[in-house]
Structure 1
Amino acid sequence: MPLKRLKTLFRSMEEKTETYRRMYDAPIVIQPPTEEDPYGDNDTAFYRDNVAFVIESPPKNAQDRPIVLIRIPADNIDPRLGAEIGGTADEEGPDALAEHLCDAAADFCLRAFAGQIDTLNEALYNRSRPDRENGKYYLFHPGGEILRRNTAFFAVCPQRDYDYLTGIMVQLWDPQEHPCPPKLCLCFRLEVQLPFHKLKKAMTMMTSDLPDAVDEFIVSLDRQALRETLIMAEKQFRMRQALCSSQWCAFVANGSILPRAKDGVNPLDGAVPFRSTPEDEIELCGVRGMGIPRGVTVITGGGYSGKSTLLDAVAAGIYDHRAGDGREYVLTDETAVSIAAEDGRAVSRLNIGPFLKSLPGGHSPADFTTAHASGSTSQASGIMEAVSAGSRLLLIDEDRSATNFMIRDSKMKALIKKEPITPFTDRVRELAERGVSTILVIGGSGEYLGPADRVYLMDEYRISDATARAKEIWRSSGGECETPPLCDWEVRRTLTAERFSSYPENGSTERLEANDMGFLLIGSEQIDLRGIFSLMTDTQRNAAAFILRTVMVSHRPGPLDFAAELEAVLDRIRQEGLHTVYTPFFTTMRLPMELPRKIDLEAVVFRMRRVKWTQTE
């Protein structure tokens, strides 16, 4: 059955309309009249059979680009799907495994539906005309990661409870004879660019082409591949649980393809499959591979040996990956943080005493503030912030590090008597004893061979255990591990509500923008996110902007408990979906969002320049 009510609304519009107001108002006349709405109502949900097409308002400067939420009952896809991904639910919502399976199933379906949308766009494409004249469907195309999104998800949604009569008139069903309880639905959210001054073509795109693509998606979906995806997703979930309570901080499955193709997303053709060292090969939930133990791990090797490729794969292992990515079973402690020097970043009232003995002018390193940190102080700040936020694993590549922070050999120690910086070599073991592991890629210095628990050698993308040989070289060269006095690792600072706002100073309109250069503009802040490597996509940065803005506008007068208020917003997202933080008010912000980690959202706030922190006892 075509979307007749939506067709009626299109036919009532003027030919050269640009606002499509009646489509967004979506009037409906209910028969028989209800006491609450005797003359009618508004309903932006239009149905083809039991599939709903909900028209959502776009930004005010893009009224010819409606947002469409498609709700497909899970039973339409597979009658067993609801039971397979529903899990157990209580008053607080679905359990963690159910959420995980929903994310994996939605990711699989999004990739399949993207093919249908690409086919529609190929038919619309005309290189001599822009999208605004041709029309186009904008559906988010994901990378290799499986993340929670506002463009593809499962949710319990209301169902159609009426029969269509004519025009905009419908007849309600008797709830006793025809109950319509909410159902679990697969939801897609996309934007549709309607062609300029071509009302008939716009109507065809919305009421015929798009619903036909949904029908074709349902018919052609590979159910067996979906089931295999769910099996893999459950295995990934169980493996992460096992890893969390084990002696290993990361796991790399045998056969994994770690190098990436030129697009940075797909596996490199002809790459050498990963194979564990015999000494560290383990089995995790039936999958064999290398377990990287907790503690201090050094990965070394010559140029182009694959050592940074391995570290990059471990860094990406905080997220699950799709089948065919090559890193499906590369799993890393979910609190892992990549640390690098960030020259010029701001730091406010942070304790970097473990790495700095003194500051010029008699200032205390336990209360360090600067608007332009050096390479060493920025890297020290990154470590202190990560540890204070709960990270259990630090990932460091010497190519992105400050040399004077990472090492100082015996000759330089003999030459420079008054050095305020305590190098990371002298603190890495202390961190390990506090439960914070470190994986380092080191190719130019042997200073970390002493404190390392494991040393791995990469050669043409093949890994071997070189720990015994490294220790022998360390001892024969007279190497010694300095053990400075134990230090205070506590970060005692609190974010205040002052200047923590999405409104510019002395401004009356909120400001929010996430640009392509890796900067987030919010209120009077311009935040450089390029040093937060786990914010891998523009869509994650987009979500970070909306989430922090939600924390800002929902804060009530009084003291700010940022951690608690951020957790409240994340709980709301878990219950109601990621789109709950979206608003079309910000015309430059894009629709697609992917959920970042809490630890990364905190890292964004740590990089704000204008907010105020206070020291606590």
Structure 2
Amino acid sequence: MSFDKSRSNRSNSKDPAYANKASRRREGTDAELIESLHRLDGRNYGSYKSVIGDWEYGPFSIAIDRVQADPYAPPSNCRATSTPESMGIPPELLATVDGRVAVADFLNRAFDSNMARFSHPGTVAITRPGQEILVRSAATVTDEQIEIRFQVQLPARGRTIMGHTAAAIFDRDVPDIIMESLDFTPPEAAEHLERLRAHVATYEDYQALQSALQERSLVGFVADGAVLPRRSGISELPMGEAVAFETPESLRETIDLPNAGAVSGMALRPGITVIVGGGYHGKSTLLSAIQRGVYAHIPGDGRELVATARTAMKVRAADGRSVTGVDVSPFIAHLPQGADTTSFSTENASGSTSQAASIMEAAELGSELLLLDEDTSATNLLIRDSRMRELVHAEKEPITPLVDRIGALAKDRGISTIMVMGGSGDYLDVADHVLMLDTYRCFDVTEQAAAVVGAQPRERMDEPAFPETSPRVIKPIQRKGDRPKTKVYGTETIQLDKQRIDVSDLEQIVEVGQNEAIAWALRGMLERFANDDDASLATLASKIGSRLESEGLDELTKYGARQWPAHVSMPRPIDVGAALNRYRGLNLV
């Protein structure tokens, strides 16, 4: 299904004179672009700028928007555009927002896959998607247009243009990739079209599942047959021959989905759910799947029908993180040197103070579900057993452990918790639901846990109401003539000017593109929205999320991102707010 040159509007017209300014966009046919590149052979690298413009290839066009300054700079930015009709994409797949998002995600993946078939490594690049179906700037689809944003490494020998090689890239490699990825019209594309339909159906079912969570007042759902284990700790690919998930009968519900039909699975209800079991039996695997259930997953991932409340937040200890003006008093009553715990700030939080701050920040940002794993939590924030309470009296211990506050958090603030706990039975007293994992099989042991609690009672502490906290209002940052610097390093670090923000504990940022979008969103919040009448942190995070959802990821250009950003992915507003909470330059009114 490679590019058929007979479909192109080729022309024999001569290449325009090189007197055109480099900044001026040219227009022409693919033949004129190829001829121009041949003529550039042997010239200085900067002459590549003469091909910036829009080039018609017949069934599609290619825009060359930015040419790299030299062979060692980031690759040149290009866009391919066409129409769904000319590419044979059925209109019914584009009739809804969900359909358009899924089609765009599929085309992004097809382009990424076909690069290896039709170009040399490193020549053509596009955002590489993970296992999640996300809105990405690399591919957008409406009922009238398809747009794919990619990059091309323009070839050179030293700093001399290799024009003939560049011509081959735009005459053969790029067109073949585009047509193989986007064209569903040839008879041999039938299988390609079926995969597209399956991709859309999977995304539609996930969105329907999310709607069912809200309608049934659930915080999560794990379908029977889901494959939760991953290949390794550094891979999100499914493990081969893994034990498929099977729902305990007491927790089974059936949900009707538009494509998969009636699907049964484990309904996770509001309140406190504790996951127990022996080591290496799948407790953290289940929690990780629930944690990732805030996103849809591609067909074959195994977690396609795992859905979690969209605002679910994984909270963990993060030694050394910055905290600014957070009320941690529900967990920490006092600190040495008389630090105010109702408006706690530090440049170097401990494990317990960082996790307490993360819980309170998540509540402020509107999370309805907290996810915790004892392996990544501060032990002294989670529990304090009876012997330690006897030895260290309450008035000497500033920390009120989560076990004494988690019930009020659910009752008074409506915030549920799902947590992995293998080392302390104290949480059995407060748990509404107890799940046991045994060799990756899930059992409802709530009644057995209640029997254990009855047989081995412990003194329960009085649990005061969980307080409402005042919203924190941020001050805008004032740059003093310095050139702004916005950069990300993987999914773990954001750089704003001279400040680096460590977001490595925000485990639900799953793609580098999300981190890049968050970086530009932070700049918008701090430099533009912080002047609004309501500049509370939670309001600004919600506002930036609404802007990106309604206007698209190109909205980020208003906050300093380059025009036509190619490598950004849609973040959750709650993760944008969480990243801002970790900014050491954050100032509050």
TM-score bracket for this pair, using the shorter chain length: 0.7 to 0.9
SS in 1 for 2:583: coil
1:210 aligns with 2:174: yes
> How much does 1:543 deviate?
1.6
For residue 253 of structure 1, the aligned residue among 201, 223, 228 is 223
The answer on 1:86 being equivalent to 2:50 is no
Residue from 142, 154, 167 that aligns with 2:129 = 142
Instruction: Name whichever of 9-18 and 231-240 sits farther off.
Output: 9-18
The corresponding residue for 1:409 is 385
The answer to whether structure 1 residue 108 and structure 2 residue 106 are counterparts is yes
The structure 2 residue matched to 1:68, chosen from 78, 86, 90, is 78
Which among 241, 250, 269 is matched to residue 240 of structure 2? 269
Task: Tell me the secondary structure at the aligned position of residue 94 of structure 2.
Answer: helix
C-alpha displacement at 1:108, in angstroms? 1.6
SS of the equivalent of 2:236 reads coil
The CA distance in 2 between the partners of 1:227 and 1:375, in whole Å, is: 47
Structure 2 CA distance for partners of 1:9 and 1:526, relative to 1, 3 Å? same
Where in structure 2 are the equivalents of 1:330-409 lying within 5 Å?
Answer: 330-409=306-385
What's the CA shift string for 1:227-278, capped at 9, x where partnerless?
Answer: 2222222221111011023232110000000001135121100100000001
- 1:53 and 2:53 correspond: no
Moved more, 59-68 or 524-533: 59-68
Q: Equivalent of 1:120, from 113, 118, 121?
A: 118
1:10 and 2:16 equivalent?
Answer: no
Q: 1:585 to 1:568 in 2, by over 3 A?
A: closer
* Structure 2 equivalent of residue 465 of structure 1: 444
Q: Give, as a single letter, the amino acid of the residue that structure 2 aligns with 1:431.
A: L
Query: Share of identical aligned residues, percent?
Result: 31
Give CA-to-partner distance per residue, 1:158-215, whole Å, 9 cap, x none: xxxxxxxxxxxxxxxxxxxxxxxxx622221111112113111101212332113322
Of 179, 185, 194, the residue aligned with 2:145 is: 185
Q: Is 1:428 aligned to 2:406, yes or no?
A: yes
AA at the equivalent of 1:419:
E
| Distance change >3 Å, CA 569–CA 364, structure 1 → 2 | closer
SS of corresponding position for 1:391: coil
Kept in 2, the 8 Å contact 1:296–1:454? The answer is yes
Match of 1:512 among 486, 502, 507: 486
Q: 1:526 and 1:75 mapped to 2: Cα distance?
A: 46
CA distance in 2: counterparts of 1:427 and 1:243, whole angstroms: 26
The residue matched to 1:290 in structure 2 has which SS? Answer: strand
For residue 314 of structure 1, what is the aligned residue in structure 2?
A: 290
Q: Which amino acid aligns with 2:171?
A: T
- CA-CA distance at 1:421 after TM superposition: 0.7
Instruction: Give the partner amino acid of 2:408.
Output: E
What is the CA–CA distance in structure 2 between the aligned matches of 1:185 and 1:405, rounded to whole Å?
53
Task: Report if aligned partners of 1:23, 1:55 keep a CA contact under 8 Å in 2.
Answer: no
**Aligned partner of 1:573 among 535, 548, 552:** 548
Counterparts of 1:18 and 1:58, CA distance in 2: 10
Residue 95 of structure 1 aligns with which residue?
none
Provide the rounded CA distance (Å) in 1 between the counterparts of 2:178 and 2:147: 11
Q: For residues 443 and 477 of structure 1, what CA distance do their matches in structure 2 show?
A: 17
Letter in 2 for 1:602: G
Distance change (3 Å), C-alpha of 1:492 and 1:572? closer
> C-alpha offsets along residues 375-425 of structure 1, whole Å, 9 cap, x if unaligned?
111111000000010000000000001111000111111111121111000
Of stretches 551-560 and 427-436 in structure 1, the one that deviates more from structure 2 is 551-560
State the one-letter code of the partner of 2:196.
Answer: L
Could you tell me which of 469, 481, 495 is aligned with 1:521? Answer: 495
The partner residue of 1:19 within 17, 41, 46 is: 46
Cross-structure match for 1:36? none
Q: Residue deviations 1:42-96, cap 9 Å, x none?
A: xx22111141211111565567832111112111333533x43233xxxxxxxxx
| Counterpart position of 1:175 | none
Between 485-494 and 403-412, the greater mean CA deviation after superposition: 485-494
Instruction: Report the 3-state secondary structure (helix = DSSP H, G, I; strand = E; otherwise coil) of the residue aligned with 1:248.
Output: coil
Quote the offset at 1:111 in angstroms: 1.9
- Change in 2 beyond 3 A, CA 1:114/1:488: same
Q: Which runs of 5+ in 2 are unaligned?
A: 1-7, 11-29, 257-261
Normalising by structure 1, we get a TM-score of 0.82
Q: State the distance in 1 between where 2:486 and 2:68 align.
A: 13
Q: Residue 400 of structure 2 aligns to which amino acid in structure 1?
A: T
SS in 2 for 1:184: coil
Matched with 1:282 is: 253
| Cα displacement (A) at 1:526 | 1.1
Aligned length, in residue pairs: 540
- Describe the superposition over 1:353-382 as per-residue Cα deviations: whole angstroms up to 9, x where unpaired: 111122223333111111111111111100
What's the CA shift for 1:568?
4.9
Q: 2:421 aligns with which of 432, 442, 445?
A: 442
**3-state SS of paired residue (1:257):** coil
Q: Compared with structure 1, are the counterparts of its residues 585 and 252 closer, same or farther at alpha carbon in structure 2 (3 Å cutoff)?
A: closer
- The structure-2 alpha-carbon separation of the partners of 1:281 and 1:374, relative to structure 1 and needing over 3 Å to count, comes to same
Q: Indicate the residue corresponding to 1:602 in structure 2.
A: 577
Counterparts of 1:326 and 1:431 in 2: how far apart (Å)? 33
Q: Structure 1 residues 20, 543: closer, same or farther in 2, change over 3 A?
A: farther
550 and 47 in structure 1: CA distance in 2 versus 1, 3 angstrom threshold:
farther
CA distance in 2 between partners of 1:608 and 1:64 (Å): 28
Whole-Å Cα distance in 2 between the matches of residues 254 and 273 of structure 1? 7
Q: How far apart, in 1, do the equivalents of 2:351 and 2:366 lie?
A: 23
Q: TM-score, normalised by structure 2?
A: 0.86
The residue type paired with residue 55 of structure 1 is I
Tell me which amino acid in the other structure corresponds to 1:272: V
Unaligned 5+ segments in structure 1 are 26-43, 88-97, 126-130, 156-182
* Matched residue type, 2:166: A
Distance 1:50 1:430 in 2: 61
State the 1:570 CA deviation: 3.9
Contact 1:24–1:57 under 8 Å retained in 2:
no
The 1-side partners of 2:449 and 2:466 are apart by 28
Instruction: Call closer, same or farther: CA 1:584–1:67 in 2, change over 3 Å.
Output: farther
- CA 1:483–1:111 in 2, change beyond 3 Å: closer, same or farther? same
- SS of residue matched to 1:405: helix
The one-letter code matched in structure 1 to 2:344 is F
User: 2:427 is paired with a residue of what secondary structure?
Assistant: coil
**Equivalent position of 1:92 in the other structure:** none
**Contact 2:475 2:526 (C-alpha < 8 Å) held by counterparts:** no
